[in-house]
Amino acid sequence: MSRPPHLCTCGAIVAYGERCACRVAATRARNMRHDATRPSARERGYTRQWEVARKEWLQFNPVCSHPGCNALATVVDHITPHKGDMMLFWDKRNWQSLCAPCHNRHKQRLERTL
């Protein structure tokens, strides 16, 4: 059984589970405004030194640490967001290996609630 479509605030009828084009455009615009004020990755500490440390970390911690996921990790995540604190950024006790889907889905959702 399929759920019925819904009416978007712009007046378009949108299939269940889909997003209206106006909502997609609004999200992209909001993200672009946010990115325009955000420092670059290099300015946030993700330098060549970080790339070397990340590669070494993933060699010794190759599996995603998200519960129930045993995928190959590709991201070194900061458990507690460092927010520019370089002591916390380089604290290996604050690092965890995650696969990209877990980092992009679960971890980002968790950080939005903080």
What are the tens digits of pLDDT across the range 15-68?
A: 998 999 999 999 999 989 988 988 888 888 889 999 999 999 999 999 999 999
Give the pLDDT score at 1: 60
Question: Is the pLDDT reported for residue 99 higher than 90?
Answer: yes
Q: How confident is the model over 65-86, as a mean pLDDT?
A: 92
Is the full-model pTM beyond 0.75?
A: no
User: What is the largest distance, in Å, between two alpha-carbon atoms of the chain?
Assistant: 53
pLDDT mean across residues, the chain: 90
Give the pLDDT score at 111: 66
> Between β-strands 75-78 and 95-98, what pairing exists: parallel, antiparallel or unpaired?
antiparallel
Beta bridge partners of 13: 7
What's the rounded Cα separation, in Å, for the pair 16 and 93?
43
Q: How confident is the model over 90-107, as a mean pLDDT?
A: 92
What's the rounded Cα separation, in Å, for the pair 91 and 106?
22
Question: Is the pLDDT reported for residue 88 higher than 90?
Answer: yes
